Amino acid sequence: MIAARKALLTTALEALGPERVTRGLTATGHKWSDCFLAIATDGEANLLRQELKTNLLRWELQNNARAEREPLHGRASRRPIQPAWLMARR
């Protein structure tokens, strides 16, 4: 293994800690909902997926509520900035 990749992997595993790494090693799946990381962080399949869905829904609801409260002139004043921002990143 390349030394730089080994260092990154070691850092990631150290951040997870021995308990999570041990739990992750029991993963047998290959989908993102039952892979090493999902089992390591949540302990069983599909919990990570459910948590991500819940957080995404919460984020969408908060942003929709914010957009409804925000006056139209506030949103319109940002429109000229958006194309310039996108062009700067091409």
What is the identity of the amino acid at 7? A
Q: What is the pLDDT of residue 39?
A: 83
Residue pair 29/35 in contact by the 8 Å Cβ criterion: yes
In the chain, the percentage of residues whose pLDDT exceeds 90 is: 6
Average pLDDT over residues 66-76: 62
- Give the list of residues 6+ apart from residue 39 with CB closer than 8 angstroms, or none: 23, 24, 26, 27, 29, 45
Band of residue 76 on the pLDDT scale cut at 50, 70, 90: low
**8 A C-beta contact, residue 40 and residue 20:** yes
- Is 11 buried (19+), middle (13-18) or exposed (0-12) by CB count in 10 A? exposed
Give the mean model confidence (pLDDT) for residues 28-51.
78
Averaged over 6-31, what is the pLDDT?
88
